[in-house]
Structure 1
C-alpha cells in the first residue's frame, strides 16, 4: 500500500516540476515583453506630448460644436488582452465595462481583444478587433477614430473607453476615459495665423489628438497586461515550489513508513523463526 502511495506522490512531484518550468519560462517571457513595451512607450510619449501641445493651441470655436455636446447614444470602447494567464486583469476590465454599460443609455460597443469579444457576444456590437495590436501604432488609433466618426454621423455621441491604467509593477486598475464630448480648454486667448486654413488644419489635429489618446490607453493596457502575467506566473511558480515541498515531505514520510513496515516484518519473521526452532 505504501509503495503505491509513494509512486502516486512521485508522479505528482514530476508533474508539478514540469508545470513549474512552464510558468517560470512564461514569467521570463512576460518580463522581457514588458520591458520592450515600456521602451516603445517611452518613444511614443514625446510624440503624444507634442500632439497635446498642438491640440491646446486650437481654439474651441474652430471645432464642430457636435464634439462638445452630450449625445443620446453611448459608444463604449472596451480594451482587453487577447490572451489569459494574467490573473484577474481581464475580469476586472470586463466588470468595469459591465458597470458602464448598465449605467449607459442606448449603449453600443467597440471591442478590442479576444477576452472582451468572448464575453460580450450579444448586444449592440459595432466593431470587434481580435489580435488588433502587439505594439500600438497610429494606424490602430486612427482605425478606432474612423469607427467613432462613422457612428457619430454628424450627431453628438458620448464615447467612453474602458481600459487598464498601469500604476506600477504590482498594480493595474481598470478606468473609464471620457473621450467625447471634448472638454473645453481653459486658456488665454491667443491669436494665431494658421497655415493651412483652420477649416483644413483643425480636423487633422483633432484626428491626431483622438488617435494618439487611444494609443496612450492601448499602451497603458498592454503594459499592465504583461506585468499582470509576469506577476501571475511568478505566483504560480512560487505555489508550485510550495506544492513540491509538501509532496516531498509526504513522500519522505511514506518512504519512512514503508521502511519501518519492512523492518517490522523482518523482525517479526525472525522472531517467528526462533519460536519454530525452539
Structure 2
C-alpha cells in the first residue's frame, strides 16, 4: 500500500490536471461557437453555389476544370489540425488516408504518381514519417485560416489540374455534425463532378439561359465555386476539431474527477491504516511496560 505522501502527491497532480482540462474545455467551447457560426453561415451559400456549379458543368459548358481524362496522377489533400488533445480527430483522417493508400490508391503510390498535401502540423508530422510523396507548402494554413489562404491552396490544385500535373484531386476532411460527432468525408474537388439527374427534373432536359455569357460564367463562377467549396471543407474541419477537443477535454475532466474520488478513498484508507498501526504500537508498548 502506498504511503500517505505518495497518495497526496498524486491527488495534487490529478487536481492540477483536472483544472487544465476544464480550462481547455472552456477555451474549446468558445472557439467552437465562433467556428460553428462560420460554418452555418457558409453552408447555404456553398450548397447553392455548388448546385449552380454542377448544373453549369452539365450544360455542355466547356471548362478545363471538368475535363475527364485517364487518371495517372492524383493529389490527396488531407485536412488535419495543428494540435492534438482532440480525441480521434486526427487519427480518423490518418486511418482513412492509410486505407486509401492500401486499397484503391496503392497502384498510384507504387508508381510514384500519388502526392499527399497535408494541411495542419499533425498531418505534416505524420506523413513525414511515411514513404509517400508529400507537398508541405500549406502545412501551417490553420494558423492563419481565411478565405484568401484557402483560395491559395485551391488555386494551387486547380493550376496543377489544368497543367496536367494532377488528373484528380481528392480532399479528406472531418465534416461537422455536432459537438460529439464528426464524419470523415472523402470528396472529389477536381474534376468537377456532374450533378446526378433526378426523376422529377432530369438535368439533361433543363434549358439554361446564361447571363451575361457562357464564357464569363466559365471564367468567373466555376473557379470561384471550387474555391468556396474548399473553404467550406476547411471550416467544417475547424469546427469539427474544436468540437472533438471540447468533448475530449470534457471526458478527461470527468475521468480526473473519478480518479480523484478513488485517490481520496485510498488516502483515507491509508491514513486510517497508519493511525490503527500507531495505536496498536502504543497499546503493545504499554502492555510490554506493564508486564515488565
**Aligned match for 1:158, one of 168, 173, 178:** 168
Once the two structures are superposed, what CA deviation does each residue of 1:43-79 show, in whole Å capped at 9, x if it has no partner? Answer: 2234324423543552542232662414221111110
| TM-score, length basis structure 1 | 0.90
In terms of Rg, which structure is larger? Answer: 1
> Any unmatched runs of 5+ in structure 2?
198-202
Deviations along 1:218-248, one digit per CA (max 9) or x if unpaired, are 1211111111111111111111111111111
Q: Distance in 1 between matches of 2:137 and 2:34?
A: 26
Indicate the residue corresponding to 1:181 in structure 2: 191
**Distance in 1 of aligned mates of 2:36 and 2:96:** 25
Structure 1 window deviating more from structure 2 (37-46 vs 252-261): it is 37-46
Contact 1:117 1:128 in 2 (8 A): no
The answer to whether the aligner puts 1:73 opposite 2:73 as a matched pair is yes
Task: Report if the CA contact (8 A) 1:142-1:207 is conserved.
Answer: no
Post-superposition shift, 1:184? 2.2
Q: How does 1:237-256 map to 2 (within 5 A)?
A: 237-256=253-272
Contact 1:68 1:184 in 2 (8 A): no
**Partner of 1:216 in structure 2?**
232
RMSD: 2.2
Question: Which stretch shows the higher mean deviation, 28-37 or 55-64?
Answer: 55-64
Tell me if structure 2 keeps the 8 A contact 1:86–1:232: yes
Structure-2 residue corresponding to 1:8: 6
Question: Which runs of 5 or more structure 1 residues have no equivalent in the other structure?
Answer: none
Q: Write out aligned runs for 1:265-276 (5 A).
A: 265-276=281-292
TM-score, normalised with respect to structure 2: 0.86
In the alignment, the residues of structure 1 paired with residue 270 and residue 20 of structure 2 have an alpha-carbon distance, to the nearest angstrom, of 28
Tell me what 2:200 maps to. Answer: none
Q: Distance in 2 between matches of 1:227 and 1:29?
A: 11
Aligned to 2:94: 94
1:98 CA drift (Å): 1.7
- 2: CA distance, partners of 1:218 / 1:237: 28
Count of residues in correspondence between the two structures:
273
Q: Structure 1 residues 239 and 208, CA, compared in 2 at 3 Å: closer, same or farther?
A: same
